[in-house]
Chains A and B, each alone.
Chain A
Amino acid sequence: MDGPWTAWPHWLVLLLLLPLGGAVLIPALHSLNRRLVPWWSLVVAAGTTMVSLPLFWRLVREGPFSYFPGGWARPYGIELRFDEFGAALVAAVVLLGPPVLIFSRLYAARAVPAPRLPFYYTLLLLNLGGMIGFAVTADLFNLFIFLEVVSLSAYALVAVGGRSAAEMSALRYLLMGAVSSLLILFAVGLLYTLTGSLNMVDVAGRLGELDSPAALTLAGTALVVGFMLKAALFPLHNWLPEAHASAPGTVSAVLSGLVVKVGIIGLIRTYQVFGQVELFFPGSLATILAWLAVASVVMGSFFAVFQKDLKMMLAYSTITNIGYIVLGWVLASPYAVAGGTVHVFNHALIKATLFLAAGALIYRTGQRTLEGLRGVGRTMPLTCAALAVAALAIIGVPPTAGFVGKWYIALGALQAGRPFFALVVIFGSLLAAIYYVRIINAFYFREPENEAVAGAREAPWSMLAPLAVLAALCLLLGLFVRLPLAFLESAAQSLLNRVGWW
């Protein structure tokens, strides 16, 4: 397979241009032929997936590599960089893009008002493209730009279905999100003032020589708080549940699976940029973040237990899982960091499966609550099977995909000499088991009460097919996970060797 075509340097920029370019063409295409729009979006998403393959191939063989779009070398030119941690997010985006778009064709036609359909597809592709850009850029200002592409399209996607609750929660999401974006822009401006550079590698090098701890601490704090809000880490999580629950099902899958991970990747970039700097914090930043992560794990599950709405439960469960990922990162042992990075990908896969399955149930029955959906396992067995598999995966039952990330984070806690945090991971899984078992119990072991549920037909094939593939991956990825883990472990080790901040 190793031909000259995998080494072609322009794959990386094509990976960015394809979804963004494909997105902006959609309104024009819509006026030509409206039935082509879903297919076109699918072709663009699938094309993006194909383009990403040589990049992953090259990453595994050569390690991280850079691309300079203008031909100007670092630090003058703009740099795109494909590294292990960004690749975790890119992998999730390119894997989930096509299934979500296949699912959208029937789902969005009902959940989104017809005049808004082309914009739904435009925003969805912009969102996916923005996340790819965010993951591969090595320039601080472009980081902000792609963050805004992702965020703005996400705000609009929440409201695109036109439900009343959705518009309110979209506005709340926008106000919170815009404040965090400004904190990040402020920090980027401050770093530029301090170093005169915007390239991350260059800035990281120059920060080590600086002697202005107060300004550096301000920039670091602004970045961490800004990205914490984007990732919905406790106590900055309260915009998330309503926004994710009131959006259309496909949008929830993308928001909950992928968009919150942008905050995680942002925290990782902060970590890389500030690696060689001593910051003075009250206590240590890592300790604060570790406890906030613990609070996220516990509170997310705690609130989820008391929800009646299926999608609200899934949204709160996202807060829990963000807690695990951040915990993995701040424990800063190779196992924990690798586990956290793997969980970025695995949680995206599992949560997207859960939200798509919930979307299919709502599509057929119109019921959103656990009570309303009682007994739906008898009338829609395949959809419920996919949901049950993903629920087992997110609880962390071995050998599913969800198990591996959590297991490695727990091992990493022991490796870091903090056994308490390993207990938190296990305790969090038990809490998650409570409400996911409740869901499974309601679907399979109760009589259908609602006529809409009792008379429901199985979801259409264009929804079942992506669900089946994703659910199968939830099961299988747990078995084939040694490969990426070994790979990420060495990346984590080399990152941890270079930085002394944490």
Chain B
Amino acid sequence: MAEALWYNLDYTAVVVLFCIGLYAVIIKNNLIKKLLGLNIMETAVFAFIVTSGMVTGGSPPVVGPGAEAPMASPLPHALVLTGIVVALATTALALALIIRIHRRHGTIEADELRELE
């Protein structure tokens, strides 16, 4: 079991990161910390997808003189770049909302906001 975890270290790290992020989103009281948790989850998923493009002994997938097979798969990189753009938009929107909530109520602690309602 421990050996399998060590052998798949990348996947283990991804799962641990994902769970840390999910913990922060659910448990943390501060809205910014919740958002940070979300970003950690995003990183975990992106890391997982990038890893899937790895080819043992592969070279960077750049075509041109000196290009040699085997190459790492470039598709996951493209996917993750797109995913990062989406994550950026999500974070920006969430921060904008948090700023407005803070201006209106003077707090970004979830329990205090619940009492205000």
A-B residue pair count with CB separations less than 8 angstroms: 75
Known: A152-B89, A171-B98. A189 touches B45 (CB 8 A): yes
Complex contact B101–A167 (CB within 8 A): yes
The answer to whether the Cβ of B19 comes within 8 Å of any Cβ in the partner chain is no
Q: B102 CB to closest chain A CB, in angstroms? A: 10
Give the contacts of A275-325 with B (CB-CB under 8 A). none
Q: A178–B31 contact, CB under 8 A?
A: no
Q: Which of B45, B82, B97 contacts A182 (CB 8 A)?
A: B45
B34 touches A141 (CB 8 A): no
Option from A145, A159, A167, A175 in Cβ contact (under 8 Å) with B86: A145
Shortest beta-carbon distance, B29 to chain A, in Å?
Answer: 13
Q: Which A residue's beta carbon lies closest to that of B105? A: A164
A179 within 8 A of B: yes
Question: In the complex where A141-B79, A179-B22, A189-B45 touch, is A171 in contact with B31 (Cβ < 8 A)?
Answer: yes
> Which residue of B52, B82, B93, B104 contacts A152 across the interface (Cβ within 8 Å)?
B93
Q: Which residues of A contact B25 (CB under 8 A)?
A: 175, 179
Neighbouring B residues of A371 by C-beta, 8 Å: none
Contact A186 to B97, CB < 8 A, known contacts A165-B117, A168-B113, A178-B38:
no
Instruction: Name which residue of chain A comes closest to B42, CB basis.
Output: A182
- Whether, in the assembled complex, A394 has its beta carbon less than 8 Å from a beta carbon of chain B, the answer is no
* Cβ contact of A189, chosen from B49, B89, B105, cutoff 8 A: B49
Report B-chain residues with C-beta under 8 Å of the C-beta of A170.
97
B12 within 8 A of A: no
Residues on the B chain within 8 Å of A148, using CB: 86, 89-90
Query: Size class of B's contact patch?
Result: 20 to 34
**Which residues of chain B are near A167, meaning CB under 8 Å?**
97, 100-101, 104
Q: Are B52 and A164 in contact (CB under 8 A)?
A: no
Q: Is A432 close to B, CB under 8 A?
A: no
The answer to whether A159 touches B90, judged by C-beta atoms less than 8 angstroms apart, is no
Q: Which residue of B lies closest to A151 (CB)?
A: B90
Q: How far is the CA of A112 from the CA of B116 in the complex (A)?
A: 24
Say how far B19's CB is from chain A's closest CB, in angstroms.
Answer: 12
Give the residue of B18, B90, B101 whose beta carbon is less than 8 angstroms from that of A168. B101
Contacts of A159 in B (CB 8 A): 97, 100
Q: How far is the CB of A113 from chain B (nearest CB, A)?
A: 12
Cβ-defined contact, B34 with A175, below 8 A: yes
B98 contacts across to A, CB distance below 8 A: 171
Flag B73-117 by CB within 8 Å of A: 1 or 0 each. 001100100110010011001100110110011000000010001
Query: Which residue of chain A has the shortest Cβ distance to B113 in the bound complex?
Result: A168
Enumerate chain B residues within 8 angstroms of A186, measured Cβ to Cβ.
Answer: 18, 45, 48
Return the chain B residue nearest A162 by Cβ: B100
Which residue of chain A has its CB nearest to the CB of B26? Answer: A179
Within 8 A of A (CB), among B6-48: 18, 22, 25, 31, 34-35, 38, 41-42, 45, 48
Measured CA separation A186–B90 after assembly (Å): 17
State in angstroms the CA–CA spacing of A182 and B35 once bound together: 13
Q: Give 1 or 0 for each of A177-193: 1 = CB within 8 Å of chain B CB.
A: 01101100110011011
Min distance, Cβ B81 to any Cβ of chain A, angstroms: 12
A181: chain B residues within 8 A (beta carbon): 86, 90
Q: Is A156 engaged at the interface, CB distance under 8 Å to the other chain?
A: yes
Known: A168-B113, A179-B38, A192-B76. A185 touches B93 (CB 8 A): no
Q: Tell me whether A239 is interfacial, beta carbon within 8 Å.
A: no
Evaluate whether A189 and B48 lie within 8 angstroms (CB atoms) in the complex, with A145-B82, A156-B93, A175-B94 already known. Answer: yes
A129 to B18, CA, bound (A): 31
With A189-B45, A189-B48 as known contacts, state yes or no: A171 contacts B97, CB within 8 Å: yes
User: Once bound together, how far apart are the Cα atoms of A189 and B34, in whole Å?
Assistant: 24
Residues of A within 8 A of B90 (CB): 148, 152, 174, 178, 181
A355 within 8 A of B: no
B52, B89, B94, B104: the one contacting A192 at CB < 8 Å is: B52
Docked complex Cα distance between A156 and B92 (Å): 11
Q: Is the CB of A179 within 8 A of B41?
A: yes
The answer to whether the Cβ of A155 comes within 8 Å of any Cβ in the partner chain is yes
B34 to A, closest residue via Cβ = A175
State in angstroms the CA–CA spacing of A189 and B53 once bound together. Answer: 10
Residue of B nearest to A142 (CB): B82
Kindly identify, within residues 35 to 74 of chain B, every residue whose CB is under 8 Å from any CB belonging to chain A: 35, 38, 41-42, 45, 48-49, 52
- Bound together, the chains give a CA A324 to CA B6 distance in angstroms of 46
* Pick from A145, A175, A190: contact of B38, CB under 8 Å: A175
Q: Which residue of B has the minimal Cβ distance to A158?
A: B97
Render A38-82 as a binary contact track against B, CB cut-off 8 A, 1 for contact: 000000000000000000000000000000000000000000000
CA distance A182 to B83 in the complex (A): 10
- A145: B residues at CB distance < 8 A: 82, 86
State how many angstroms separate the Cβ of B15 from the closest Cβ of chain A: 10
Q: Mark each residue of chain A from 234 to 277: 1 if its CB lies under 8 Å from any CB of chain B, else 0.
A: 00000000000000000000000000000000000000000000
Q: Which of A141, A178, A179 has the most CB of B within 10 A?
A: A178
Q: Which residues of A contact B105 (CB under 8 A)?
A: 164
Given contact pairs A159-B97, A179-B25, A193-B49, enumerate 7 new A-B contacts (beta carbons under 8 Å): A152-B90, A164-B104, A168-B101, A175-B34, A179-B22, A192-B76, A192-B79
A interface residue numbers (CB < 8 A to B): 141, 144-145, 148, 152, 155-156, 159, 164-165, 167-168, 170-171, 174-175, 178-179, 181-182, 185-186, 189-190, 192-193
Closest 7 CB pairs of A and B: A189-B49, A193-B52, A171-B97, A148-B86, A186-B45, A182-B41, A185-B45
Return 17 A-B CB contacts under 8 Å, by A number: A155-B93, A155-B97, A159-B100, A164-B104, A167-B101, A167-B104, A171-B101, A174-B90, A174-B94, A175-B94, A181-B86, A182-B45, A185-B83, A189-B76, A192-B75, A192-B79, A193-B52
